[in-house]
Structure 1
Amino acid sequence: MANLRRILLTFNNSQQSIILGRIVDKKNLYSYLFPWNIYTTILPQAGIVFSPSALEYMTNDACFGWLSPRATERALIRCSNLMNIQLIDPIDKEGKHLFDPNSLKDLIESKESKTSKKTNGTLHCCSDQAVSFGGLNYRNHRILDFVTNRIKVFGC
């Protein structure tokens, strides 16, 4: 929660229409054959933050494509382009994304498997200032917030 507050304070203007989330370009064979389609999507499993004015614009009748759950990502991109809402994929100083689509369980398991192999490369896990993880419900998010703010680890 503190990391999200820190990011939101960088956007001082409350009237600014922004959407924060993980934005990905999905390139495949069709993207080269049909270049006029939109292949940029936003990952809802990583979490999405709407400003109040962006949420008002998204409820406008001019936005379409919300009926198909498969097309929600594209509908969000199209509606934001139509309503001039700024899409932002925040990253930290190290270039790591603050909205991570992987769940904490997957991140911990992948880190354990990499450390057991004793690789000398750096682990690309996640940002120290991460805002959201995939598959994290409200209860687990509150527990994670408590652990990161209250529990101190000494030594390593």
Structure 2
Amino acid sequence: MQIEFELNGAMVSASVEARTTLADCLRDNLGRTGTHLGCEHGVCGACTVLVNGEAVRSCLMLAVQAKDEKVLTVEGLSGDELSPLQASFRKHHALQCGFCTPGFITTAHALLTSEPEADEERIRDVLSGNLCRCTGYVPIVEAVLGARKFYAGQKEKA
């Protein structure tokens, strides 16, 4: 099947089988390897991307379901420099091996875009669906808390 969708602000097309997941399409067909595949059962959250602003597990979504939608991956959050959220992850040492990081960042981006004043309890609740085996979660939560000011400023401009 031939599909077309917006990926990180640009229209893309891919030829996929009906059973191809969005994660596999992003990685194998479109070369966007920032989206990681961990469990491939929707449990770990490493493959989280945004579809029309909503965080989704790309290992559970078929690529054909993305047809005519807007998909944002971790690569789409920054240009030549790190996004404020990515910079906050760096500043707070919120990654070690980095495998889970794209899923945490896209999940946090979706949360802070809609709720820039999210408190620590809300952040922990939303991030609880993502698994990390290295950092112990405290630096990840601190990084998201540290990025809130940027998102609050973006909401004020809108």
Q: Calculate the TM-score normalised by the size of structure 2.
A: 0.28
Q: Calculate the TM-score normalised by the size of structure 1.
A: 0.28
